[in-house]
Amino acid sequence: RERERERERGGEGAMSISEADLREIIQLLDRNGDGVVHEHEFKDVYLQVFPHISEHEFQQVWSSLDENRDGELSLEELARHYGYDLVDLTDEGMTDEKILELLEVQSKLAEMQRDAELKRNPPKTAETTNRRNSRGLGYGPSLVTEAERKAAGVTTIKMTSVIRAELHLDENASFLDACEFKDAEKIDSMLESTTLDVRIEDEKGEMPLHKLARGGLLRQTRSLLSITPKLHDDLNWQDKQGKTPLMLAAEYNHPEIVNELLDLGADAMMESSNGGTALHLAVATKSEAAIIAMLSHSKVDRTHLVDVPDRNGRTPLHIAAFSENENMTRVLIDHGAHPLTDAYGNTPAKLAGKAGRRNSKDMLDALEKLTVR
The mean pLDDT value of the chain amounts to 83
Give the residue, 274 or 93, on which the prediction is more confident.
274
Q: Is residue 63 part of a domain?
A: yes
How many domains is the chain partitioned into structurally? Answer: 1
Q: What is the total residue count of the chain?
A: 373
Pick the residue with more confidence: 271 or 50?
A: 271
One-letter amino acid of 32: N
pLDDT for 8 beyond 50:
no
The secondary structure of residue 144, as a DSSP letter, is S
**97 within some domain:** yes
Given a cut of 70, whether residue 5 has pLDDT beyond it is: no
Residue 358 has pLDDT above 50, yes or no: yes
> Residue 67 belongs to a domain with what CATH number?
1.10.238.10
- The answer to whether position 138 is within a domain reads no
Residue-wise burial string across 293-320, b where 16 or more C-beta atoms lie within 10 A, e elsewhere: bbbebeebebeebbbbbbbbbbbbbbbb
The closest of 248, 187, 265 to 219, measured between CA atoms, is 187
The model's pTM is 0.65
What pLDDT sits at residue 120? Answer: 74
Q: What pLDDT, on a 0 to 100 scale, did the predictor assign at position 12?
A: 38
pLDDT tens-digit map of 71-99: 999 999 999 998 888 877 776 778 777 88
| Residue 219 CB neighbours (<10 A) | 11
Whole-number pLDDT of residue 333: 93
Classify residue 80: in a domain, yes or no.
yes
- Which segments within 12-106 are labelled E, that is strand? 37-38, 72-73
Q: Is residue 73 part of a domain?
A: yes
In a domain, 94, yes or no: yes
Ranked by mean pLDDT, the top range of 169-178, 296-305, 309-318 is 296-305
Compute the average pLDDT of residues 118-143.
Answer: 48
Q: In the beta sheet, which residues pair with residue 268?
A: none
CB of 279 within 8 A of CB of 294?
Answer: yes
Higher pLDDT, 82 or 136: 82
- Asked, for residue 335, whether it belongs to a domain, the answer is no
d(CA 275, CA 310): 4
Q: Does some domain include residue 109? A: yes
DSSP for residue 270: B
Distance between start and end Cα atoms, the chain: 33
Which has more pLDDT, 129 or 326? Answer: 326
Distances (CA, A) of 46 to 51, 93, 285: 8, 22, 20
Q: What is the DSSP string of 177-191?
A: HHHHTT-HHHHHHHT
Domain that holds residue 32: 2-119
